Amino acid sequence: MPILVKYKDNTIGYVPDDKLQALLEGNLIISFQRSGKWVDLSKDPLRGQGSNTKYDGYNRRKRW
């Protein structure tokens, strides 16, 4: 499914969803639409970034 993105020159266009990661890594866009809302890369969290703190507690998902 195409994703609406805003490039650094403030132009807007659609890109295939499999190309979004390359645009993010190349720092080529400033925002994109997710669930109908604009995600501002300068301030909004991205999925998969995780936390910058290390968790040293009990791992409930580990069997043994």
Q: What is the pLDDT of residues 1-11, one digit of tens each?
A: 899 999 999 99
* pTM, full prediction: 0.69
Give 53's strand partners: none
User: Which neighbouring-strand residues pair with 5?
Assistant: 13, 32
List pLDDT tens digits, range 3-40. 999 999 999 999 999 999 999 999 999 999 999 999 99
- Alpha carbon dihedral 27, 29, 30, 33, in 10-degree steps, equals -130
pLDDT of residue 25: 92
Q: Residue 55: its pLDDT value, please? A: 66
pLDDT computed for residue 50 by the predictor: 55
pLDDT of residue 32: 96
Query: What does the block give as tokens for 17?
Result: 């969803």
